[in-house]
Amino acid sequence: MSLLIDSGNTRLKWAWSDNGSIVLTDAVLNSQLSFTVLVELWHVLPIPQIVAVSCVNAPQTLALIVSVVKFLWPTCCVVVAQTQIVQCGVRNGYTQPEKLGVDRWLALIAVRNIYQQAACIVDCGTAITVDLIDADGQHLGGMISPGLTLMKQALSTGTQQLPYSEQNYIAGWSNNTLAGIDSGTLFAACGLIERVIALQSFPVQLILTGGDAARIAEQLACACIVDDNLVLRGLSYSVFTVQ
Ligand SMILES: Nc1ncnc2c1ncn2[C@@H]1O[C@H](COP(=O)(O)OP(=O)(O)O)[C@@H](O)[C@H]1O
Ligand SMILES: CC(C)(COP(=O)(O)O)[C@@H](O)C(=O)NCCC(=O)O
Ligand SMILES: [K+]
């Protein structure tokens, strides 16, 4: 049994994994993270043999995670995933491969191994990242845009009269400010994805993951798969597949 951990810029997600299949997932907001909170959440878990971590968050967060793991399970082996040049059938398309976020790298590995076809991967988290992979496992590059919450926060902090609300509204023409911001930012995300798909010269499977995946998928004009645990599933492949 192993514990898989994905530390993003908004939330820390984890999954309990048995033989590569994910059997339990949970999450906590970064704003609520502390040694005590993680101990409370994790001490009820069975003792893992391996803890695998993906972290695009601050080094202090990684250090916190490792310290809690060592406190709860002193003999357990901790593996911290790193972006590679080639791994699990994927070839990194960045000119400086190590600069590609490890969460994006792991999502590419998951898609290569689960779907085995050309795909456009959209991680709808704090940022919205778009990555393209061909049917041979070559990463063709990516794009980075603000996520829905970041877009709303940018409007609120960059203007005098726009408030921030995390509330969701019915998408479309709005007759008030908050609903207009909510629809405008949601449509911006959909527009990015639809343009990427429209410009594709070969067929790709569109796959969405991340906290806002379902909300964005609901509004998209093109067909897509929502796979909530792509990063954690990729983490499992990266740690347990013999190269
Ligand atoms: N319960 C929730 N708590 C916080 N954010 C949520 C929640 N449900 C959906 N979201 C949305 O998901 C985004 C975070 O998605 P997530 O994939 O966890 O991001 P990251 O990997 O960057 O931490 C937030 O920006 C927010 O818009
Ligand atoms: C783009 C990201 C901020 C996305 O992080 P997330 O929204 O999942 O928290 C992260 O993958 C990252 O820090 N990437 C490094 C730069 C790059 O991928 O080019
Ligand atoms: K993301």
Domain boundaries, the chain: 2-80, 116-230
φ, ψ of residue 96 in degrees (nearest 5): -115, 90
Nearest ligand to the CA of 121 is: 3
Cβ–ligand 1 contact at 8 (below 6 Å): yes
- The architecture (CATH level 2) of 2-80 comes to 2-Layer Sandwich (3.30)
Do the annotations mark residue 57 as ligand-binding?
A: no
Cα radius of gyration rounded to whole Å, the chain:
19
Give me the pLDDT at residue 243, please: 55
Closest ligand 2 atom to Cα of 231: 8
Give me the pLDDT at residue 18, please: 81
Cα 206 → chain centroid: 15
Q: Is the ipTM of this complex over 0.90?
A: yes
Give me the pLDDT at residue 1, please: 86
Q: What residues sit around ligand 3, an ion, with C-beta below 5 angstroms?
A: 123, 125, 127, 129
Separation of CA 126 and ligand 1 centre (Å): 6
Cβ–ligand 2 contact at 103 (below 6 Å): yes
Separation of CA 189 and ligand 1 centre (Å): 15
* Alpha carbon distances (Å) from 224 to 119, 122, 165: 10, 10, 28
Give me the pLDDT at residue 22, please: 86
Fold of domain 116-230: Nucleotidyltransferase; domain 5 (3.30.420)
- Please report the DSSP string for the chain in residue order: -EEEEEE-SSEEEEEEEETTEEEEEEEEEGGG--HHHHHHHHTTSPPPSEEEEEE-S-HHHHHHHHHHHHHH-TT-EEEE----SEETTEE---SSGGGS-HHHHHHHHHHHHHT-S-EEEEEESSEEEEEEE-TTSBEEEEEEEE-HHHHHHHHHHH-SS---------SSS-SSHHHHHHHHHHHHHHHHHHHHHHT-SS--EEEEESTTHHHHHHH-SS--EE-TTHHHHHHHHHHHS--
* Alpha carbon distances (Å) from 194 to 79, 103, 191, 217, 234: 37, 22, 5, 11, 25
26 is catalytic: no
Do the annotations mark residue 152 as ligand-binding?
A: no
The one-letter amino acid code at 197 reads: I
Give me the pLDDT at residue 87, please: 98
**Residue recorded with tokens 């008030």:** 176
- In tens digits, what is the pLDDT along the chain, a chain of 243 residues? 899 999 999 999 999 988 778 887 899 999 999 999 999 999 999 999 999 999 999 999 999 999 999 999 999 999 999 999 999 999 999 999 999 999 999 999 999 999 999 999 999 999 999 999 999 999 999 999 999 999 999 999 999 999 999 999 999 999 999 999 999 999 999 999 999 999 999 999 999 999 999 999 999 999 999 999 999 999 999 998 855
Give me the pLDDT at residue 72, please: 98
Give me the pLDDT at residue 19, please: 75
